[in-house]
Amino acid sequence: MEGAEWIKTVILEAFRNAAPHLCEPSKIRELIEDIVRQATSMSGVISRLQEEVTKRNAATERTDLKIFLLFLEREFRKRET
């Protein structure tokens, strides 16, 4: 089930788990909040985050996004089973 609330819950849990590993969690949180407002599917969220990785100039932001993506994909798989 991929309702908006389910997607939001998965994303926020993934962020909570990833935050200690991020250099700039506040920047990632702002981006995530924007994505959550527009989210219609988990695959769309993941695609959007992957696009953001390529758009970012700062290496730390790219790395933080990649770390968050790993946590998000892990949380998504955990809840799918």
CA distances from 6 to 21, 41, 48, 50, 59 (A): 24, 10, 18, 20, 31
pLDDT value of position 59: 96
DSSP state of 10: H
Domain spans, the chain: 4-80
- Reported as a single tens digit per residue, the pLDDT across 19-62 is 999 999 999 999 999 988 888 889 999 999 999 999 999 999 99
Is the model's pLDDT at 1 over the cut of 90? no
pTM: 0.91
pLDDT at 38: 86
